[in-house]
Amino acid sequence: MRRNRIIKQALRRRYAVTLKHDQSTFSGVLSDWDAECFVFAQCSTIPAVAGETPEPISSPVIVDRATVAYLQELT
């Protein structure tokens, strides 16, 4: 399946992740995935207010793929 090939190429890259249900965001490195979930490592919050410092998230974040609105690669 073409979609899975694209996701395999996206592994080990850092993304800003926006979730569908509340438009909340965080950043993390896509470390694993399967048909239902994405796993992000080295995650941190993305401040809503300019000048705030991102807070690290201490453990990997597992997200249901259906809840992801979009991923934006960070360089």
pLDDT digits (tens, 9 = 90+) for 6-37: 878 888 999 999 999 988 999 999 999 998 99
Give me Rg for the CA atoms of the chain: 12
Domains of the chain: 2-73 (2.30.30.100)
Report the predicted TM-score, pTM, of the whole model to 2 decimal places: 0.86
Residue 3 has pLDDT above 60, yes or no: yes
CB 28 within 8 Å of CB 40: yes
Higher pLDDT pick, 9 / 72: 72
Percentage above 70 pLDDT, the chain: 96
